[in-house]
Structure 1
Amino acid sequence: MAEVSAALVKDLRAKTGAGMMDCKKALAENGGDIEQAIDWLRKKGLSAAAKKADRVAAEGLVAVASAGTKAAVVEVNSETDFVARNPAFQSFVANVAKVAVEVGADIDAIAVAAYPGTGRNVKDELTHLIATIGENMNLRRAAVLEVSKGVVASYIHSATAPGLGRIGVLVALESDGPTDKLETLGKQIAMHIAATNPASLDVSSLDPALVARERDVLSEQARASGKPENIIEKMIEGRVRKFYEEVVLLEQVFVIDGETRVGKAVEAAAKEAGVSIKVAAFVRFALGEGIEKQQSDFAAEVAAQAGR
């Protein structure tokens, strides 16, 4: 079996909640591959979590902005949450979201676009802000949704100021229905998405590799029961349907009422409005997701600076 580091074991424990020796064995059995080790623990029934998101702690803000039937969400990172509370930084992020509505989601295009009221472009304004505040910042990503008819509703969770916070969601609804009704429905769906973080809009758009991986885990779990093959197949299909209900937006139970599937809630709203309503797309940005925060020993840093 392959040798594994203590850091890998610690990382796997954080992701799965499994015991230290189980994590060490899982990594050894899978050549130190952490994703394969997660699946190995799940197959053995030693991990309660299907997949736990990486622990991230990047700071900054997520912002949303809209104009007509178009809306944008952007993420700008900073080193500390102190900067995220700075009015100048907040103003910059809000303005970048407005720029994204105009020029689109491409970061390079946003960077060279004119920044409002300064004579500088966005990149140069960010450089100026870094020099003024004294902390590194990064324009990380942006997304834009647009519909030909209907609305693109937005929602900010953990808002620090209007349109600014730690989670931003856009929901595109295509419909001829009344704008106010669509905005209400869209915001409710956006709140749901902020809470549940679905992997896809519908079953057909779910990543096939994700489905195959889940089916493999569920198959081994079912076969461990020792039941006949025909029963096992039914168990697998039932568990796959349950998986869809957990990760697919339109299959999830709507958090607004805790009973109705999101897809059924949209159908009911369409029936009440007397027009068709289609959830065309959604985007969810959570601040810092996917970014590993560098861990440091503050006492060691102080000692090093003191020459000890």
Structure 2
Amino acid sequence: MATITAALVKDLREKTGAGMMDCKAALEANAGDVEQAIDWLRKKGLAKAAKKSGRVAAEGLVAVAVRENRGVVVEVNSETDFVARNEEFQALARAIADVALEKSADVEALLGTHYPGGGTVQEAVANAIATIGENMTLRRAAELQVHKGVVGQYIHNLVAPGLGKIGVIVALESTGDPIELAGLGRQIAMHIAAANPQALDAAGLDPAVVAREKGVLADKNAGKPAHVLEKIVESGLKSYYKEVCLVDQAFVHDPSKTVAQAVKESEGRIGGAISLKGFVRYALGEGVEKQESDFAAEVAAAAGGQA
């Protein structure tokens, strides 16, 4: 039988909002498997959908660079937030984003690309490690481009121009006024930063995620007639899409309408049809586990074990 630790119970409670004893029971019933325990709680109506955001652990910066109809977002990690405030590190992150905008946002290709001032991006990172004295990595990068239109951008928790803790780019295809379109793009990018959609629309969701949601809805309503169950699942999925699909979410700037409705209503002002083509949202360190440390113990160790 799996050992159910207090840390495991705490983790499940943070992910589901369920009570401590319910979390413990869920873990015991599922041999300590957190994901199965989440579904177990949801089937019993004791928890909402699992939170999608992983524990933010890595430090560093997210950099965004946009030029009219093309934009990139990159994440450069460091060990401490102190280094993220270092001007040299900030210059490195910003320069990498600029190189990605000019060349490619494929990480492997980007690392081998020429870096301003000489050498490659990979060598520039290595030089910064040697100079600043802390490990750094170019973790990920992505790009968006439209034939006609703009790539909107937004950076949350701005640390310096083009740099912050959350970076968003969103592609809007349109022949309308580019200045007005850029303003709308920024609003939508701000919405994405706040609402954290998982996909542009239902078609963009992972089929396995949708199947899992259907399974939970069906199990929660087991025993009902087939035709009733089908309608319940269909209704539940619509509600789920409103939570996780960008076009179906309530627009944060005007919750009385969806993002899709807000875009449609902007077409007259902008002077052309608008199509949302995609978005990228990077939150610093999401999905990366960082080893928790006991600061007092570290200080004691540094002092030779003396309190």
In structure 1, the residue matched to 2:282 is 285
Q: What one-letter code is carried by the residue in structure 2 that aligns with 1:165?
A: G
Partner AA of 2:84 in structure 1: A
Structure 1 contact 78–137 (Cα < 8 Å) conserved: yes
Q: Any idea what SS the aligned residue of 2:179 has?
A: helix
Paired position in structure 2 for 1:256: 253
Aligned residues: 305
- Shifted more, 298-307 versus 99-108: the winner is 298-307
TM-score (norm 2): 0.93
The CA deviation at 1:271 is: 3.5
Specify the code of the residue in structure 1 equivalent to 2:69.
T
Structure 1 residues 105, 52: CA separation in 2 closer, same or farther (over 3 Å shift)? closer
Query: Deviations 1:86-145 (Å, cap 9, x if unpaired)?
Result: 1111111011000111221211211111111x2121111111111111111111000011
Residue deviations 1:46-71 (CA, integer Å, cap 9, x gap): 22454352222211100111224211
Partner SS state of residue 257, structure 2: coil
* Whole-angstrom CA distance in 2 between matches of 1:273 and 1:55: 39
Provide the rounded CA distance (Å) in 1 between the counterparts of 2:110 and 2:229: 52
- Residue matched to 1:135: 134
- In 1, Cα distance between the equivalents of 2:52 and 2:176? 39
Give the gaps of 5 or more residues in structure 1: none
Q: CA deviation at 1:301?
A: 2.9
Partner of 2:241: 244
Does 161-170 or 40-49 show the bigger shift?
Answer: 40-49
Deviations 1:121-171 (A, max 9, x none): 111111111111111111100001111111111111111111110010111
Q: 1:265 aligns with which of 262, 265, 278?
A: 262
What is the alpha-carbon distance in structure 1 between the residues aligned to residue 48 and residue 243 of structure 2?
15
Aligned-residue offset at 1:300: 2.6
The match for 2:298 is: 301
Structure 2 Cα separation of the partners of residues 3 and 291 of structure 1: 24
Q: Deviating runs (4+, > 4 A) in structure 1? A: 226-229
* Cα drift, residue 229 of structure 1: 4.7
Match of 2:115 in 1: 115
> Given that residues 158 and 164 in structure 2 are in contact (C-alpha distance below 8 angstroms), is that contact kept between their aligned partners in structure 1?
yes
Q: 2:129, 2:136 within 8 Å by CA — same for their partners in 1?
A: yes
Q: Percent identity at matched positions?
A: 59
Once the two structures are superposed, the pairs formed by residues 173-212 of structure 1 within 5 Å of their partners are 173-212=172-211
Q: Is the 8 A contact 1:15 1:53 kept in 2?
A: no
Correspondence 1:27 to 2:27: yes
CA contact 1:2–1:29 (8 Å) conserved in 2:
no
Give unpaired runs (5+ residues) of structure 2.
none
- Does 1:93 pair with 2:79? no
In structure 1, the residue corresponding to 2:251 is in which secondary structure? Answer: coil
CA RMSD of aligned residues (A): 1.8
Cross-structure match for 1:157: 156
Is contact 1:15–1:54 with CA below 8 Å preserved after alignment?
Answer: no
Q: How does 1:61-76 map to 2 (within 5 A)?
A: 61-76=61-76
TM-score (norm 1): 0.93
1:159 is paired with a residue whose SS is coil
Aligned residue for 1:258, secondary structure, equals strand
CA contact (8 A) 1:56 1:292 kept: yes
Shift of 1:2: 4.1
Q: What is the identity, as a one-letter code, of the residue corresponding to 1:264?
A: Q
